[in-house]
Structure 1
Amino acid sequence: MTLVIATATPFHGHVQPVLAVASDLVRRGHEVVVLTGSRFAEDVRAAGALHVSLPPEADFDDRKLELYFPERGALPAGPRQLDYDLKHVFGDPTAAQYRALHSLLARRFPASVVVSDPLFLGATALALSAPPGRRPVTVSLGITMPTLLSEDAPPIGLGMPPLVGEGAKKRHRDMNDQVREVFADAQRHVEDNFGESGTELPGFLLDCLVTVPDHYLQLTVPGFEYPRGDLPPSFRFVGPLPAAPPSGTRSLPDWWTEVEDADRPVVVVTQGSFDNRDLGRLVRPALDALAGEDVLVVAATGRADGPDRIRAAGPVPANARVAGYVPFDALLPHASVLVTNGGYGGVHQALRYGVPLVVGGDGEDKPEVAARVEWSGAGLDLRTGRPSPTVVRDAVRRVLAEPGFRKRAAGLREKFGRHDALGAIAEVVGGATAAAGPA
């Protein structure tokens, strides 16, 4: 048995994959403490682990970000918002996260391994606090695309695929230099936060997120990530996490037989389980776009009041069915296309079933996910988080008409099947006990 601390910044999209790993490690006989936001205590206990809340200066409710970070809402999605997030959402809690980790290790739970999401910078500070063997082994889970700058690919934030041809590497290096300049102030800000924890960043923050941990395990396959020849030895593709098993009795809508018996393509539309406050960004435009098409549209709004919100904005087309929650493990096997805002986990869930995608998302990592969907050939990138109905309709028509999209999605599904992410993580954890020194 290994003592493991799993840490996650208190965002739903960061906590859930960490909890999936924690639950699997508990099932394998390890003892796990999860250090994360207070609002996730019940989820942690359901995973079979012990919950420890982050200290108040590092804790927040991601459903009410405007209360904790009021300036953020006025910033446009893109570099300015990312600069703010690096400084304040992820940077400022660093020292408090580190102190909480150090206290937990020293007084209550002398773990051999710390598993974290990459933006829990307190774990990065822990990795820098002492050489390997004098601290726990650190394992970072690549819950979204790697941030490491490379001469083989553009930096994150641009939402563009790698350049090709003569001079591509130089242009990538030039873009990397520009990114370092753009985020120079954020770099200084975060360095100050690391200084408060008694550690020092050894390089550019976006590089350090990948290079500092003892193990960086990317939760995808090479076919969904831009090739790089300059990845560190600690980097490893382990495939995506499996879909969460159904919990309790699944509730299917009363129109479910229409999905099972559909004699026309089923187009699933979603804005994910979290970024769904404004269903007019993607769900409503998709319903309007596909109203006259020979398809069955299933809009999974991800919120209990979603159907009412949709109806308040206009009539539901005759070929559409709207629900608050639909189990995707039941729905996706029937889907011909998924129209989505591009969450990393949701996109991988669709590809697990070989479902091609139409992606319209902005903010956070969504433009980067969308770019990789198109680069991989598994779908189309709408290059906006608020597409017009015409744009959505044309994209869905194309994905349905051209078999190459489904073929490439099926190819990624086959590659996923060659990997066992949970098994690979457990292997690293199991082998880490001997490598870890005193906490």
Structure 2
Amino acid sequence: MARFLICTHPITGHVNPAIEIVRKLVERGHEVRVYTGQKFKAKVEAAGVTFQPMVKAYDYDDSDYDKAFPGRAALKGINQIKFDFTEVFVRRAPEQVADLRAIFQTWTPDVVLCDPAFAGARFLYELGEIEAFAVFNISVLGLPSKDVPPFGLGLLPDYSPIGMLKNKALAFMASNVVFKEVNAALKEERAKFGLKPEPFSPVYSDMLYLQPSVPAIEYPRTDLIPSAHFIGALIPQFKGEFEPPVWWDEVTGATKPVVLVTQGTVATNAEELILPALQALAHEDVLVVATTGGKALAGPVPANARVAPFIPFNRLMPHVRVMVTNGGYGGVTIALANGVPVVCGGTTEDKPEVGNRVAYAGVGINLKTNTPLPEQIRAAVKQVLDDSTFRDKAKRLQAEYARHDGPTEAAVLLEKLATTKQPVLNAQPPFATAACAGKATLPA
């Protein structure tokens, strides 16, 4: 039996995939503790493990970032992304270090596993206070690479010689211009612990890095760290009793395409996507199912739409023909793992990067706006429904996801790290596989 400490920000999209790994580790007989926000205490304890509360770290409510972080609401696009990188993630590192050190005084884990925004654990690993360190990603592959544009800029790759030069210039610009303030903040926080400056990037580990997806949804690259493993999806399993809405039979017995409209757990202003989508599809021969996350919708609901606060996606996805979303990584992954093509409309957080992957893989359309017009949504949905290539490619991705068991693969790799305390390296470079053949000619 090994001891594992799982560390996440108090963010639903970070905690949910972690819980799937936690459940599998417990099932395999290990001792697990989870360090995260008080909001998730019941969920952690329901998984059968010890909850470690945030004490020094800022335990904010992820249902209202703008309230939790004053000044954020006035920012849009890349400026909001820079704010999040700095205030939500980088500035939290010293607080995380203090809390983890307090835990280590009475309990020593064999492995510390954290999300890719949890810089405090990375600091302690560099300081030699964590022996075996792993990271589980919660979004698209955002690690720096000479082959693709820097993460956060929302740019598609260009593998031509000119594209390679452009990547180099973009990397310089991202570090020294676009994310200059983020790098300054990171330098300042690292200096508090005697650590040398490093350019900002998602937290990674050269011992073990778990990517919860498949290569075919990612940009090929020649310089992926050898500790990176594609493990398939970490899809939250709904454990409660599902009480279907009164109109559920209309979904399961639908003779017309079912279109799911959802905005995930962070950017939940219905005026940005849900309401325009309902308007866009009001006169189309489809059944629209909108999930609101519990917030009431302003205005009438069209006759062909059904609205619910929440429906377990594992129950809903088998009946869906296309999902309209603002590009939350978790929802998009669930859709693609079920062979459902996607229409994305989102420009906050990691959503531009997610939308670009959808378009790059040919499994949907990226509207490239946070506030799409009804006519844009209508045209995109009709295109996806009418052009079978979107669904065909989504089905191929579904087959690739089906070859994996994400929680089990994660647990096996973590067990190896706990036993050996040595880097767990990937013997098969993922972008040399047939799954990525034909997508790009990788540079030599």
Rounded to whole Å, the distance in 2 between the matches of 1:50 and 1:412 is: 36
Kept in 1, the 8 Å contact 2:112–2:130? The answer is no
Residue correspondences, number: 421
Rounded to whole Å, the distance in 2 between the matches of 1:137 and 1:192 is: 26
Kept in 1, the 8 Å contact 2:13–2:265? The answer is no
Task: Report the equivalent of 1:84.
Answer: 83
**Which amino acid is 2:140 matched to?**
M
Kept in 2, the 8 Å contact 1:98–1:122? The answer is yes
Rounded to whole Å, the distance in 1 between the matches of 2:288 and 2:84 is: 36
Deviation at 1:164, TM superposition (A): 4.0
Matches within 5 A, 1:81-230: 81-105=80-104, 107-130=105-128, 135-182=130-177, 183-201=179-197, 203-206=198-201, 209-210=203-204, 212-230=205-223
Which residue, out of 369, 373, 376, partners 1:384? Answer: 369
| Residues 33-42 or 405-414, more deviating | 33-42
Task: Report the equivalent of 2:431.
Answer: none
Q: Does 1:256 align with 2:248?
A: yes
Rounded to whole Å, the distance in 2 between the matches of 1:351 and 1:31 is: 33
Task: Report the equivalent of 1:36.
Answer: 36
Kept in 2, the 8 Å contact 1:94–1:197? The answer is no
State the superposition RMSD in angstroms. 1.7
Deviation at 1:213, TM superposition (A): 4.4
Task: Report the equivalent of 1:399.
Answer: 384
Q: Does 1:434 align with 2:426?
A: no
Q: Does 1:51 align with 2:51?
A: yes
Kept in 2, the 8 Å contact 1:140–1:216? The answer is yes
| Residues 384-393 or 23-32, more deviating | 23-32
Q: Does 1:297 align with 2:288?
A: yes
Q: Percent identity?
A: 38
DSSP 3-state at the match of 2:419: coil
Rounded to whole Å, the distance in 1 between the matches of 2:64 and 2:336 is: 31
Deviation at 1:198, TM superposition (A): 4.1
Deviation at 1:245, TM superposition (A): 2.8
Segments of 4+ moved more than 4 angstroms: none
Kept in 2, the 8 Å contact 1:360–1:382? The answer is yes
DSSP 3-state at the match of 1:434: helix
Q: Which runs of 5+ in 1 are unaligned?
A: none
| Residues 53-62 or 223-232, more deviating | 53-62
Deviation at 1:432, TM superposition (A): 2.1
Q: Which runs of 5+ in 2 are unaligned?
A: 423-444
DSSP 3-state at the match of 1:101: helix
| Residues 403-412 or 165-174, more deviating | 165-174
DSSP 3-state at the match of 2:64: helix
- Report the TM-score when normalising by structure 2: 0.91
Q: Does 1:374 align with 2:362?
A: no
| Residues 404-413 or 68-77, more deviating | 68-77
Which residue, out of 226, 243, 247, partners 2:239? Answer: 247
Rounded to whole Å, the distance in 1 between the matches of 2:364 and 2:328 is: 14
Deviation at 1:352, TM superposition (A): 1.3
DSSP 3-state at the match of 2:375: helix
